[in-house]
Amino acid sequence: MLFSYILLSGITTGALYALVALGIVLVNKATGVINFAQGELFMFTGFVAWSLHVQFGIGYGPTLILTIASGFLLGALTDRIAFQPLKNVDVVSLVLATVGIAFMLRGIARIIWGGKGDYLTFPPITSPEPIMVGDLMMIPQQLAVLAGAILIMLVFAAFFRFTRAGKMMQATADNPKAATLVGIRTDRIYTLAFGAGTAVAAAAAVLAAPLTLLYPDMGFSFFIKGFAAAVLGGLTSLPGAILGGLLVGIVEALAAGYVASSLMEVSGFVVIMLVLLVMPSGLLSVGRLRRV
């Protein structure tokens, strides 16, 4: 009973990490870099959704769409400001620029929303009444998060497989020079990838906000956990990101349940170090080597 309860809570937190990891993987898949502002973009779009939904009283559906659209714009802006001018310079400048953006977003969020209470609550999409699954009590919102993560994964899997833009993105990721040669405008593909990555973060933020509450410092720990999940899945695999997220969530719930609850916060660090040192290509690509 205790075990299955812990497992369940691990899966639902894991779904949150999986959502963040999806955004990281999406950007990495197309551009080969990690957007260090991903966690802050997640936090920021969450606050945008809060303003739309709670302050302006816009319905849930339109809020979701508007938030995703604003996420896409923010991501595209990040790409145009930090990635495009620096992609041929060096990785140090690129990382420092995205770190700069991350702190700016954090500060702006603190200035705009920080005065409205430390933790902002976001009303759940689904009914707040817990439902019983067998002996286990579940909050419907947790199921919505899990379903959202799987839905987003399927949408992007279909996008990469069936659409022209998705194929162009994969071509750019495989070989930017060859992609340019066959007429793909790689700059636009990069913008699209950053935009899509942040749009995913925005969708994730809307789904997650009712569970996590909103606060300006939330971005970083979600970024670290999301990166842990992404790196477990191999950094370029969408199903890997989901699997990695769930695993990180379960491991952390088990550690919290059986050892000490404060251990939850270090799971990201432990997973990242172990995976990068022992298995740098992730769980799903055992046997393949990668330069890290």
Partner 1 sequence: MALFGRRNTLLVLLAFAAILPLWANSYQLYIGTLVVIYTLLAIGLNLLLGFAGQLAFANAAMFGIGAYGTGLLQVQLGWPFAIAFPAGAILATAVGLAISLPALRLSGLYLALSTLAFAQFTQWVFLHWEAVTFGAGGFKTPAISFAPLPVSKPVGLYFLCLVIAVGLYAFARNLVASRTGRAFVAVRDSEVAAQSLSVDLLRTKALAFGLSGFYAGVAGGLYSQTLNYVSPEGYDLFQIVLHKAMIVVGGMGSVAGSVLGAGIIILVLEALRAVKGAQEVVFGGILLVFVLFLRGGLISVIQRYVPGWEEPLHAAPPRAGPAAEPVPLATPTAAERASS
Binding site for partner 1 (CB under 8 A): 29, 31-34, 36, 81-82, 85-97, 99-111, 114, 173-177, 216, 220-221, 224, 227-228, 231, 236, 262, 265-266, 268-269, 272-273, 276-277, 280-281, 288-292
Q: What are phi and psi of 186, to 5 degrees?
A: -65, -30
CB of 64 to partner 1, least distance (A): 27
Give me the amino acid identity at 254.
Answer: L
User: With left for phi above 0 and alpha for psi between -120 and 50, is residue 128 left, alpha or beta?
Assistant: alpha
CB of 123 to partner 1, least distance (A): 26
Q: Report how far residue 120's alpha carbon sits from residue 117's, in angstroms, rounded to the nearest whole number.
A: 6
How far, in Å, are 30, 43, 61, 66, 217 from residue 275 at the CA level? Answer: 22, 26, 38, 37, 26
Nearer to partner 1, 19 or 94 (CB): 94
Nearer to partner 1, 68 or 168 (CB): 168
> 200 Cβ partners below 8 Å, 6+ apart?
19, 22, 23, 26, 71, 152, 156
CB of 215 to partner 1, least distance (A): 13
Q: Report how far residue 39's alpha carbon sits from residue 252's, in angstroms, rounded to the nearest whole number.
A: 19
Nearer to partner 1, 203 or 224 (CB): 224
Nearer to partner 1, 102 or 146 (CB): 102
Contact 266, 11 (CB under 8 A): no
Q: How many residues does the chain have?
A: 292
CB of 110 to partner 1, least distance (A): 3
Q: Report how far residue 118's alpha carbon sits from residue 214's, in angstroms, rounded to the nearest whole number.
A: 8
Nearer to partner 1, 112 or 136 (CB): 112
Q: Report how far residue 292's alpha carbon sits from residue 281's, in angstroms, rounded to the nearest whole number.
A: 9
CB of 290 to partner 1, least distance (A): 4
Q: What are phi and psi of 253, to 5 degrees?
A: -65, -40
CB of 289 to partner 1, least distance (A): 7
CB of 199 to partner 1, least distance (A): 21
Q: What are phi and psi of 128, to 5 degrees?
A: -75, -10
Nearer to partner 1, 3 or 103 (CB): 103
Nearer to partner 1, 54 or 96 (CB): 96
Nearer to partner 1, 111 or 131 (CB): 111
CB of 83 to partner 1, least distance (A): 9
DSSP string, 72-129: HHHHHHHIIIIITTTTTT-HHHHHHHHHHHHHHHHHHHHHHHGGG-SSB----SS-SS
